[in-house]
Amino acid sequence: MHALVFPGQGIQRRGMGGDLFEEFPELTAAADEILGYSVADLCSNNGDNRLSDTRFAQPAIYVVNALAAHRLVLEHPGRYSFFAGHSLGEYNALVAAGVLSFEAGLGLVRQRATLMSKVTGGAMAAVSGMPATRVESTLRTVGQPHVFIANRNSDSQTTIAGDRMQLQLAARAIKNAGAANVAMLNVSGPFHTPLMAPAEKSFAATLRACHFAAGHTPVVSSVTGSVFDPARAARVLGRQIASPVDWVRTVHTLRGAGVTRFEEVNGAILTKLIDGIR
């Protein structure tokens, strides 16, 4: 059984998308209309380093993920029994599953990115070579109240996030406690932490007004680690902004459902994480 998975923010890079924009001109034109600028130009040239700004990075990643998935689904109809996405990638999973249209998903992602960009003064860091339980216990010991677990990515990789100054102190303590590496991430805020609560609150009305269809293929949510229920979509997607991503639980759920093959669009970051989950 196959699952197709979608990465989130942090994978953005100049040149991503390649020939996908020319291959799918109608979807690309629809994206340009919604965004008010050329997504192909943004990805190809990254003028003013805009891909480092979450307002541009999130829509760009979403579009490239969607086009890449569209190509795979056309090439392999009926191949995928499940979809899942890490954080932002969950919107792509919902589009692939027929829960959201491409246009509706992009509209949500655009507003999500704008609201998240308004939460400033934070940062994120990836901790490698240390179990999540040890990372959590170290955070409790160092006593930095505005640093949190943001992503449980694999058995030995966890993302922490929070106030930038406190995060630097926490990162140093975690490295001293035995982590193999602590690396700052290419994001502009303390995503998936309680510090994002203002963005979650502002996004709620938009999510409640959006129509989420039943879909044709199950999606496993990276927030709950269970099969996504469109009836609870507004609550789950709102919660996602200020709550940790539990990718470990998501992968366990997919494997428990019978998935033995994972394919990834737009890179191989999630594939490496999946290989590190037992």
* CATH code of the domain containing 140: 3.30.70.250
pLDDT (tens place) for every residue of the chain, 278 residues total: 999 999 999 899 999 999 999 999 999 999 999 999 999 999 999 999 999 999 999 999 999 999 999 999 999 999 999 999 999 999 999 999 999 999 999 999 999 999 999 999 899 999 999 999 999 999 999 989 999 999 999 999 999 999 999 999 999 999 999 999 999 987 778 999 999 999 999 999 999 999 999 999 999 999 999 999 999 999 999 999 999 999 999 999 999 999 999 999 999 999 999 999 99
Catalytic residue among 87, 154, 156, 222: 87
Distance CA 262, CA 271 (A): 7
Residue 48 domain boundaries: 2-118+194-275
Q: Kindly state the tokens that stand for 230.
A: 């469109």
Can you give the pTM of this predicted structure?
Answer: 0.96
- CATH number for the domain spanning 6: value is 3.40.366.10
Q: Which of 146, 156, 192, 243 is catalytic?
A: 192
Angle value at C-alpha 237, between 100 and 24, nearest 5 degrees: 35
In this structure, which amino acid lies at residue 84? A
189 part of a folded domain = no
Among 238, 244, 140, smallest CA distance to 197 is for: 238
Are residues 214 and 102 part of one domain? Answer: yes
With vertex at residue 65, the alpha carbon angle to CA 248 and CA 219, rounded to the nearest 5 degrees, is: 45
Q: Is 86 a catalytic site residue?
A: no
Residues 51 and 145 reside in one and the same domain: no
Last residue of one domain, picked from the residues 153, 184, 215: 184
Our answer to whether residue 2 is catalytic in this structure is: no
Task: Give per-residue pLDDT as tens, 116-132.
Answer: 999 998 999 999 999 99
In this structure, the number of other CB atoms found within 10 A of the CB of residue 191 comes to 30
